[in-house]
């Protein structure tokens, strides 16, 4: 049924006093929305729409729920033009036209991600991801929104798990993407992925066809120069020869690992608080004795949490750096130093570890 036909049907149902019947896709979205405890009313929501089948299906299903009054929220469509393809401007215009046709506010930003990645000597995919979430944070602030939606599917989750497995990630990384998490450092804006736990890519394409709405194709999704594309086009089809439901299996494993990691992180946070101490000159550090009394797994997690506090993130931090910290803990001499990516360092002094930011000592910045 086309959009015009749906609006006509909707008007007839309203006059007849009937309640509009939902499609299977939007019904599942509503069920997941409730499962994730997202607000059903009195909220402003930002939907990140690239123009691909997954995000268009998310927008169309939200539109269906709003017109059926199963959701009563304000919706703004947000689109970031990465400037990575000659056709990216056409994608932006296409998404804007769809948003306007459906009757929703539209927010657009253009950022030359390629130039940005080059200046920062960063991986293009990582730079694009970071730029996208920075844009969504700005869009949420500009609109007073507390919920930001992305259209990651179960296929995206499976690809993420395999990529992290190939990099040698632990349980934290193998847990994949969270269905709901804080968008940035501030916990008052949530990033939600309401398709992640149930929607397959084929299902989003089917729903777009059912609604008679086209979607954009990104040629970069076919470029095997990108590791994610190689996983999608080569590795996953090979694994499906062993398990036809490997995507679901990987997503289920990720969920189990996230639950385990959450419990371990709570214990690590307790250890971190127990280890906090101050030197005679007032510098905040960590007691080596307290850290060494814990199991190495919890100790490593506590150190990761501590480094996030000091650095702001774990970007470019690898296992080799955590192993260096372990050796620093096991040593007996003070005055030793571990250098971290970005210029920060950790030193051992008088039975404590101290974090030093790039050019600035900032042990006392956080409680």
Q: Do 3-240 and 263-361 show the same overall fold?
A: no
What is the residue extent of each domain of the chain? 3-240, 263-361
What is the CATH topology of the domain spanning 263-361? 3.30.465
pTM for this model (two decimals): 0.84
| pLDDT (0 to 100) of residue 332 | 65
Q: Can you state the angle between helices 201-210 and 24-35, rounded to 10 degrees?
A: 130
Do the beta carbons of residue 177 and residue 193 sit within 8 Å?
yes
- The CATH architecture one would assign to domain 3-240 is 3-Layer(aba) Sandwich (3.40)
- 174: alpha, beta or left, given left = phi > 0 and alpha = psi -120 to 50? alpha
Each residue's pLDDT expressed in tens, for the chain with a length of 367 residues: 556 556 555 554 554 555 679 999 999 999 999 999 999 999 999 999 999 999 999 999 999 999 999 999 999 999 998 877 777 889 999 999 999 999 999 999 998 777 776 666 667 778 888 889 999 999 999 999 999 999 999 999 999 999 999 988 888 889 999 999 999 766 789 999 999 999 999 999 999 999 999 999 888 888 898 899 999 999 999 999 999 999 999 999 999 999 999 999 999 999 999 999 876 666 889 999 999 999 999 999 999 999 988 888 777 788 888 888 988 998 766 568 898 888 889 999 888 999 998 633 333 332 2
Alpha carbon distance 78, 107 (integer Å): 5
| pLDDT (0 to 100) of residue 4 | 55
Q: What are phi and psi of 45, to 5 degrees?
A: -120, 135
Do the beta carbons of residue 68 and residue 233 sit within 8 Å?
no
């Amino acid at each position: 049924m086309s959009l015009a036909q749906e609006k006509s049907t909707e008007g007839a149902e309203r006059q007849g006093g009937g309640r509009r019947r939902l499609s299977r896709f939007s019904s599942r979205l509503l069920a997941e929305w409730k499962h994730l405890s997202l607000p059903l009313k009195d909220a402003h929501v930002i939907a990140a729409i690239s123009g691909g089948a997954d995000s268009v299906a998310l927008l169309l299903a939200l539109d269906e729920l709003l017109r059926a009054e199963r959701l009563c929220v304000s919706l703004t469509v947000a689109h970031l033009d990465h400037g990575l393809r000659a056709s990216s401007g056409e994608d932006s215009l296409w998404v804007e036209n769809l948003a306007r046709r459906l009757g929703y506010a539209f927010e657009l930003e253009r950022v030359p991600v390629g130039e940005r990645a080059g200046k920062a000597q960063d991986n293009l995919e990582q730079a694009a991801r970071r730029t996208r979430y920075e844009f969504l944070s700005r869009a949420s602030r500009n609109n007073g929104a507390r919920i930001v939606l992305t259209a990651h599917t179960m296929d995206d989750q499976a690809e993420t798990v395999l990529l992290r497995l190939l990099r040698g990630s632990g349980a934290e990384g193998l847990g994949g993407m969270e269905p709901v998490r804080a968008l940035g450092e501030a916990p008052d804006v949530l990033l939600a992925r309401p398709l992640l736990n149930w929607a397959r890519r084929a299902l989003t394409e089917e729903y777009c066809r059912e609604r008679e709405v086209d979607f954009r194709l990104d040629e970069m999704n076919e470029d095997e120069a990108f590791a994610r594309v190689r996983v999608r086009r080569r590795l996953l089809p090979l694994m499906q020869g062993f398990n036809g439901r490997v995507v679901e299996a990987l997503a289920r494993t990720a969920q189990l690992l996230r639950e385990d990691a959450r419990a371990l992180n709570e214990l690590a946070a307790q250890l971190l608080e127990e280890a906090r101490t101050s030197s005679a000159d007032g510098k905040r550090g960590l007691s080596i004795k307290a850290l060494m009394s814990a199991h190495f797994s919890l100790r490593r997690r506590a150190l990761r949490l501590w480094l996030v506090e000091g650095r702001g993130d774990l970007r470019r931090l690898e296992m080799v750096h955590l192993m260096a910290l372990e050796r620093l803990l096991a040593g007996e001499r003070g005055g030793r130093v571990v250098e971290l990516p970005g210029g920060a360092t950790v030193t051992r002094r008088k039975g404590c570890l101290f974090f030093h930011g790039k050019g600035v000592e900032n042990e006392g910045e956080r409680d």
